Amino acid sequence: MKILHADNISKTYTGTKHPALENFSLTANKGEIVALLGESGCGKTTALRIIAGFETADKGKLTINDQTLFDDNRMMPPEKRGIGIVFQDYALFPHKTVWENITFGLFKLSKSESTKAAEEAIALTGLTGFEKRYPHQLSGGQKQRVALARALAPHPRILLLDEPFSNIDTMKKNEIREDVRAILKKSGTTAIFVTHDTKDVLAIADRVVVMQNGRNIQNGTPLHVYHHPCNAYLANFFGKTNILQGTIVNQKLNTPLGELQLPEGIKQSADETISVSIRPTAFKLADADTDGAIPAEINKIRFMGEYVEIICTTALPDKPSAEILVHLATEPANLQKKQYLKIGENGYSVLNND
Amino acid sequence: MFRFLTEKFNPARKQNYFNRWSVATFIIGMAVVFPLLIIFTHLLKAGDHAWGHITSNLLPGYLANTLYLLLGVGFLVFLIGTSTAWLVSTYRFPGSRIMVWALILPIAIPGYILGFTWVAMLDYTSPLYVYLRNNMGVETGQFLFFNILSLPGAIVILSLSLYPYVFLIAKTWFTRQSASISEAGASLGRSTFAVFCKIVLPLARPALVGGVSLALMEVLNDYGVVSYFGVDTFTTGIFTAWFAFGSPVSAIKLSGILMFFVLLLMLTERVQRGNRRYDMVSGSHKPILKKHLSGMAGMMALIVTTLPVLFGFLLPVAMLVYWTWQTAHLVLDNRFFALVQNSFLLATISSVVVVVAAILIGFTIRTFPSKLTRFLARMATLGYAIPGAVVAIGILVPFIWLDLQISTVTSGAIRMLITGTWFTLIFAYMVRFMAVGFNNVESAMEKTSHSLDEASRSLGMTNFQTLRKIVLPLIRPGILSAALLVFIDVLKELPLTLILRPFNFDTLAIRAFEFASDERVAEAAPASLIIILIGLIAVFLLNHTLKNNKL
């Protein structure tokens, strides 16, 4: 069931030439965690602020549960929207205790209802015992929980999170990501979060919307977007990749790595150059007699800790050679100077030309 | 700025321009600009007989005196301010830690109090002169050593009370200067003094000129010192035109010319600053390692830094304390306490009005940032550049006209409804001191994150509730310092109060000034001391915030 619907929203800030958002559309289903992914300046924060009501869009339409929050004739102020927000800097009120912070948005409830809602939020976020502390007496992770509890306590129709993990130590990030996902799922909250970190997306999002230059360029599950990025920019965004040029010959993809199966739904005329992205992890070592084995000469081996990075040059007969990047989990014993590689199943994706 | 008038907009967007907040800001902004507009619109009116007399006989003198004052004070405050600031921020010498803050003290004494105190100290009957005359046979005429009631005398007095403006700016600038700059200079074989002249000073120039301009603004605003010292300038000219010649047109024209000086000063400051906003050397801010000065050099440094404090604060305050002790039984009666009460009440109401208006404007630009609201805020804070006498004339002229209309309509039943009331006076203080309140409130607001407001809105609070529950509690220190600074400014204000005060109404400042003008300086001492005391509290507060901001 769709809860949030943002339709063709555009916004250009006064004094700037390029639109921050251009015909941006987004939906969120009940209980779904949606990630808005993009580099800084791609418009993701603007999108979040427009949904929250802190910015006014130039045109477009925004509805929650079929109630219009914004269109050509309407601009509902933020306090009426029933949208919760967790800010990047948490924005905890420094002059109020944890308890006062969490009950701040519960002023419309009766005293007992408000206490109940706050206690629920505190239990949900595991903040029991911290009620009387002030924000400056909390660690970064605790602050984030308070921010989460405060935003969740009034049971918002939707929760927005602005770069929720950017202020967390790298060491603790994974743990906190999982905690946040668990809290959101437990409370059945529909959430949209903004991030520039693909690891956040892969770890907690049900769906990801990728943005570039104020536009929505791809929409899908994190795994799908990771394996089948729509363009070279996005392929690189999710980590290192090999991008090769090829042409279509006899319904096959003719690349420097040999002839690959053309994925379904790709309609491109012959003779047109198309780009293929192959993740370094898609390669496996192979024997010379394996079907489709690619001979390669190893130029360099780098030990990266979690994996081994190998740079090699392919040497298929009748094909131009290409320098490719291969990631292996461990360095195989007796690695030869000349090796055969093979591409794993579904290990490549065709990119849009842009 | 006026895009919302011309362009077709989503009606929702108009909310960002037309709302209770921006309308209130608009009204305050317009109210503050209004006296200035009156001055400029009346400027082109034909002059009367008095104006003819003024232009041919008095104007050249006003011009010359004003120019001499600006040049003299400008030179002296620069010299005293930068040299002392350089000494305390580069060297450590006996007493240097005390001098760092002691050098600010003279700012607590209004120029006119410093002026009449010094005149009385050098006067024929002063204890010092009496002692020297009777015991040493020193006889130098009416005044000891030299005639202080002169243009040079006024220049020295104004410089002594205004140099802290330059000192404060120079000190913060020199202290923030990264040590590596001086060390780089020293490693290239230059002496500390050469580094100071060739590197530190040019880098600090925009800031220093800013400080000097601030002091010169005060010179243009001054009425007390120049009138007491008999130096005729535009401010005294405005008083003469208004009270002696009874010629509002002339007062307005003189105000206009004075405003021209102010604008010229602001323009010069801006032009010299230009785009040259030298950034501090980025990276690690290693503070300057202060060099130790001992022996003769240390002694010299101590003397140079002590002199301004001695002449600008210690001696006059000691003298005022002595006089207060002498005259307390004469002065400290019920009338005096009523006077204190009057002054404090007026200053309290004014600072509350100013601070409330400042909070309103500050929150409007914070919540609805646009060129329009920022423009309005700039309008509302323009008053600080306008000399008090000019503000007074700009307000009095239209208010008298309005009173006349009311009187005519009611066939004379209601006269003087507005002029000569507390309302007029408080309105004038708001015009004049809005910037003091606003700057403090705004900088406090800037220190609180915007996301706090947004968090509050997202939790269901309206703008007004957000202001009350989140912003106000967080900026309380800023509000308090704003209120206190406006309070002291109102308490010591002279020209504006003299023109606009209700009939038979006195403030501490006016009483002190009138006593002094009647050559009863000793009796002016208690009122003066109260003003200085409150001023000192403001100075400590200022010093405290400067330290906290690490400016």
pLDDT tops 80 at residue B142: no
Provide the CB-side half-sphere exposure for B256 (13 A, CA). 16
User: Would an 8 Å CB–CB cutoff place A87 in contact with chain B?
Assistant: yes
The pTM for the full model equals 0.83
- Residue A172 distance to chain B (closest CA, Å): 25
Q: Decide if B90 contacts B288 (C-beta within 8 A).
A: yes
Q: Around Cβ A38, how many Cβ atoms within 10 Å?
A: 25
**Last residue within a domain, chosen from A195, A213, A233:** A233
Spatial distance between the Cα atoms of B465 and A141, rounded to a whole number of angstroms:
29
Element (H, E) at B200: none
pLDDT attached to residue B551: 38
DSSP code at position B502:
P
Q: Decide if A26 contacts A4 (C-beta within 8 A).
A: yes
Q: Decide if B217 contacts B265 (C-beta within 8 A).
A: yes
Strand positions, DSSP E, B416-494: none
Do residues A155 and A262 both lie within one domain?
no
Give the gyration radius of chain A's Cα atoms. 25
Judging contacts by C-beta atoms under 8 Å, the chain B residues touching residue A150 are 455, 459
Spatial distance between the Cα atoms of B541 and A131, rounded to a whole number of angstroms:
35
Do residues A54 and A115 both lie within one domain?
yes
**Last residue within a domain, chosen from A213, A233, A253:** A233
Terminal Cα distance for chain B, rounded: 32
The letter for the amino acid at A316 is L
Q: Decide if B458 contacts A83 (C-beta within 8 A).
A: yes
Note down the domain range covering A242. 234-351
Cα–Cα nearest to B532, from B142, B107, B222, B42: B107
Do residues A227 and A84 both lie within one domain?
yes
Query: Which member of B13, B460, B462 has the closest CB to residue A56?
Result: B13
Query: Helix/strand/coil (H, E, C) string of chain A?
Result: CEEEEEEEEEECCCCCCCCCEEEEEEEEECCCEEEEECCCCCCHHHHHHHHHCCCCCCEEEEEECCEEEEECCEECCHHHCCEEEECCCCCCCCCCCHHHHHHHHHCCCCHHHHHHHHHHHHHHHCCCCCCCCCHHHCCHHHHHHHHHHHHHCCCCCEEEEECCCCCCCHHHHHHHHHHHHHHHHHCCCCEEEEECCHHHHHHHCCEEEEEECCEEEEEECHHHHHHCCCCHHHHHHCCCCEEEEEEEECCEEEECCEEEECCCCCCCCCCCCEEEEECHHHEEEECCCCCCCEEEEEEEEEECCCCEEEEEEECCCCCCCCEEEEEECCCCCCCCCEEEEEECCCCEEEECCC
Do residues A10 and A45 both lie within one domain?
yes
CATH of the domain at A197: 3.40.50.300
User: Would an 8 Å CB–CB cutoff place A194 in contact with chain B?
Assistant: no
pLDDT band, residue B288 (cuts 50/70/90)? low
- Residue A112 distance to chain B (closest CA, Å): 18
- Specify the CATH number of the domain B25-549: 1.10.3720.10
Query: Which member of A58, A83, A95 has the closest CB to residue B458?
Result: A83
Do residues A346 and A256 both lie within one domain?
yes
Do residues A184 and A246 both lie within one domain?
no
Do residues A150 and A258 both lie within one domain?
no
Spatial distance between the Cα atoms of B394 and B38, rounded to a whole number of angstroms:
6
Do residues A248 and A226 both lie within one domain?
no
Helix, strand, coil percentages (3-state) for chain B, rounded to 5, are 80, 0, 20
Q: Helices B508-517 & B111-122, crossing angle to 10 degrees?
A: 30
DSSP, collapsed to helix, strand or coil, labels residue B420 as: coil
- Better pLDDT: B10 or B35: B35
CB contact (8 A) between residue A14 and residue B370: yes
- Residue A52 distance to chain B (closest CA, Å): 7
User: Would an 8 Å CB–CB cutoff place B255 in contact with chain A?
Assistant: no
Do residues A225 and A315 both lie within one domain?
no
Structure-token pair, residue A154: 């009034």
pLDDT tops 90 at residue B268: no
Do residues A15 and A76 both lie within one domain?
yes
CB contact (8 A) between residue B458 and residue A81: yes
Q: Decide if B377 contacts B370 (C-beta within 8 A).
A: no
Strand positions, DSSP E, B188-261: none
| Residue appearing with tokens 């690490």 | B550
Domain ranges of chain B: 25-549
Do residues A180 and A217 both lie within one domain?
yes
**Last residue within a domain, chosen from A214, A233, A252:** A233
How many domains is chain A partitioned into structurally? 2
The letter for the amino acid at B463 is N
Do residues A150 and A246 both lie within one domain?
no
pLDDT attached to residue B550: 42
pLDDT 10s per residue in chain A (354 long)? Answer: 889 999 999 999 888 888 999 999 999 999 999 999 998 889 999 999 999 999 889 999 999 998 999 988 888 999 999 999 999 999 999 999 999 999 999 999 999 999 999 999 999 999 999 999 999 999 888 999 999 999 999 999 999 999 988 888 888 888 889 999 999 999 999 999 999 998 899 889 999 999 999 999 899 999 888 888 888 888 888 888 888 888 887 778 888 888 888 777 666 665 677 888 888 888 888 888 888 788 888 888 888 888 889 999 988 888 888 888 888 888 777 777 888 888 887 778 888 765
Spatial distance between the Cα atoms of A290 and B92, rounded to a whole number of angstroms:
81
Query: Helix/strand/coil (H, E, C) string of B254-301?
Result: HHHHHHHHHHHHHHHHHHHHCCCCCCCCCCCCCCCCCEECCHHHHHHH
B143 strand-pairing partners: B123
Judging contacts by C-beta atoms under 8 Å, the chain B residues touching residue A87 are 451, 454-455
Tell me what the pLDDT averaged over chain B comes to.
85
Spatial distance between the Cα atoms of B277 and A127, rounded to a whole number of angstroms:
48
